[in-house]
Structure 1
Amino acid sequence: MSDKHYFEVTTPVDPPLKGGITAQILEGGKPTNYIIRADKDWSVNVEWYLEGALTDCICGTWCLHLFMESVGPGPEVAFPYGEIRVPLDPCGDGHYQYEIEVKGGFIKPEHCTTPYKLVAALTYRTPCDKPGPMAGFCELPLVQFYESDKQGT
């Protein structure tokens, strides 16, 4: 048997892999003023990307979470859907998007004027479903929920 020999792995750019994440709160599919009527549906649209020479070598799954906690007295919110799994597409363009929908009435404005902080968090799971070395998060603007006794406003 011969001695151990090595081979070289080169990539044409530096860094060989990088990414980013953004998120936006929507009401009725449109950007919001961050004051949301509690009985109306709303959503968070999360977009993220990978770019670089190794993008098409990365397989596995993205794990997306949305976290929300009160600023001051009030509850932390646990959304009913848990983690959202999005498969990586190594043959795609490296761009991903997921819209997390929240039904009207899920958030209760019981704590008068309580603002809430939202964070979209993303982690990577390998093809063996083990935690991998990629993660990111995006803090969103503070939001506030209110009740209205008027229909349609």
Structure 2
Amino acid sequence: MWGEHRYSVRTTWTGDRGTGTSGYRDYDRSVTLEIDGKPALLASSDKPFRGDPSRWNPEDMLLSALSECHLLSYLHACVQAGVVVVGYEDDASGLMVEDGRGGGAFREVVLRPRVTVADASMTDAATAAHAQAREWCFIANSVNFPVRHEPTVVVAAS
């Protein structure tokens, strides 16, 4: 389990409208992302960048990766802390700012997990487990902007 882990994806541009990239408005930003053994993901650029808003864009995927990585790390932290999680939802958001030169960067991501635990005695440990999850999250440890957490912990109805 320790060591290096390699990942691969096949990215295929499918947006040639017959004239290739003859002009900025002459091609579609459609992309298909494929990983062997997994369903293809249809992607594009974000709508402000002439993309298809019905497809996933890189910004969506980065935000989703941060949210999912925290979720999976958090569930593991809860198991180790003896916390029984019976529900988890996250309404995450991210802020990306353009730099005026054609580029830009994310400034921050805020994760807002709403965790449901089995018993009221688990509330404090469930809240504390977010710090451990942050330390374990590979994706959050790979970005150069803050990933903040605003968790809520509730107790399941009996």
Pair in the same fold by TM > 0.5: no
Larger Rg: 1 or 2?
Answer: 1
Q: Which has the higher contact order (CA 8 A, sep 6+)?
A: 1
Structure with higher strand content: 1
- Give the TM-score of the pair, scaled to structure 2: 0.25
